Amino acid sequence: MLEESMDKPHIVTCTAPVNIAVIKYWGKRNEELILPINSSLSVTLHQDQLKTTTTVASSRSFQEDQIWLNGKEEDITHPRLQSCLREIRRLARKRRNDGDSGLDSTGLSHKVHICSVNNFPTAAGLASSAAGFACLVYTLARVFGVEGELSGIARQGSGSACRSMYGGFVQWIMGQKDDGKDSLAQQVEPETHWPELRILVLVASAERKPVGSTSGMQTSVQTSCLLKHRAESVAPGRMVEMIEAVRRKNFAAFAELTMKDSNQFHATCLDTYPPIFYLSSVSQQVITLVHRYNSYYGETRLAYTFDAGPNAVIFTLQQHVPEFVQVVQHFFPPETNGGQFIKGLPVNCTDLPEEL
Ligand code: DP6
């Protein structure tokens, strides 16, 4: 049976959603193993939203490993891809040496062809590498019949990818060991925990970011004393407070921490030398809008966070979504050709008036 099936390609397709960090990861203590200078916490989106779909085929007739990203062939020798492939094959070999025949899995010597597509702009600061590497590692694991803890492998593809291995609220514990064995993602609460929580993505620009996260955080580690202070003295306390806010479903506390942490992350970018600017004037208008909205109601109903790009991610509760959508439509009118303001905020939006 096993021999027969091995003549045909073994094909597995999986999807993985992006995650949005509310306590940001920015800075590595080990570049190769991707070990962070602080722990971080994120919310994983649902599978049917912003996601990567990856298909891996393995066959004894393939001559070499190959990868296509959004239809274009990419360099499989990239060290991060190689780390993920190597680690999955190592676990598969271990599993077989331990006596598990892995009947459902592919031959260890077989090469793989990987096809990965995102249903959202790649590298525009929308966590594409997180979904991408999480999906790659999970799909490869299925192909090679590997089970168990995989976030440590996804982390070696892209740091934030380890958090997309779990749904709901996920922390990436920075760990202490030099070999990174304790630098893993862990679910804090499942996706069912806070069903009223909503996430809206306002795309201000779908262009590639000018400075990628990897090189940006490298320069920040080398030059920003604010980042050192943040990692050592701010982020640890915020992790504790954020986990508490999530567990208690305390939106006001969750929102304030989220906004402060986003602001501090972008302050460390400005403190980097030369400085890095991820926020645009549209991002700043969204920040102003959120604060005005909250103060208009005298309670915190909205929170924003921005990753390495100008696109705003808004957290709110279900009951406030219809009104907030109207507010966004009012201040950032949809483009006539698409009308999808959530997916395409026009950059030439009107200035915010003094009042809401
Ligand atoms: C701002 O995970 O993309 O989104 O580990 O170098 O691949 P590498 O970086 P990456 O950085 C993400 C940075 C962030 C914050 C976050 O997601 O925590």
Task: Report CA(94)–ligand 1 centroid distance (Å).
Answer: 30
Question: Is residue 158 lining ligand 1, measured as CB closer than 6 Å?
Answer: yes
Question: Is residue 307 lining ligand 1, measured as CB closer than 6 Å?
Answer: yes
Question: Is residue 137 lining ligand 1, measured as CB closer than 6 Å?
Answer: no
Instruction: Please give the pLDDT value at position 336.
Output: 43
Return d(Cα 45, Cα 18) in angstroms, integer: 6
Strand partners, 43: 20, 169
Task: Report CA(219)–ligand 1 centroid distance (Å).
Answer: 14
| Predicted TM-score (pTM) of this structure | 0.91
Question: Is residue 122 lining ligand 1, measured as CB closer than 6 Å?
Answer: no
234 by Cβ neighbours in 10 Å (0-12 / 13-18 / 19+) ranks as middle
Instruction: Please give the pLDDT value at position 292.
Output: 96
Instruction: Please give the pLDDT value at position 156.
Output: 98
Lookup: tokens for 110: 């077989």
Residue 258 near residue 303 (C-beta atoms within 8 A): yes
Lookup: tokens for 54: 């990856």
Pocket test for ligand 1, best of 18, 20, 25 (most atoms within 8 A of CB): 25
Nearest ligand 1 atom to the CA of 214 is 6
Instruction: Please give the pLDDT value at position 112.
Output: 97
Kindly report the length of the chain.
356
Instruction: Please give the pLDDT value at position 350.
Output: 35
Return d(Cα 79, Cα 57) in angstroms, integer: 21
**C-alpha Rg value of the chain to the nearest Å:** 21
DSSP 74-96: E-TT-HHHHHHHHHHHHHHHHHH
- Report how far apart the first and last C-alpha atoms of the chain are (Å, whole number): 68
Task: Report CA(21)–ligand 1 centroid distance (Å).
Answer: 9
Q: Which amino acid is at 124?
A: A
Peptide bond into 9 cis (omega under 30): no
Residue 190 near residue 313 (C-beta atoms within 8 A): no
DSSP at 177: -
Return d(Cα 217, Cα 276) in angstroms, integer: 10
Return d(Cα 295, Cα 47) in angstroms, integer: 34
Q: Dihedral angle at the C-alpha atoms of 249, 255, 258, 259, nearest 10 degrees?
A: 180
Q: What is the mean pLDDT of each run of 10 residues along the chain (356 residues)?
A: 51 95 98 98 88 95 95 96 97 86 67 92 67 97 95 98 97 98 98 96 77 96 98 98 98 98 98 97 95 97 96 96 94 59 35 41
Nearest ligand 1 atom to the CA of 160 is 2
The reply to whether ipTM tops 0.85 is: yes
Instruction: Please give the pLDDT value at position 354.
Output: 42
DSSP at 160: G
Return d(Cα 307, Cα 123) in angstroms, integer: 11
26 φ/ψ angles, rounded to the nearest 5 degrees? -155, 100
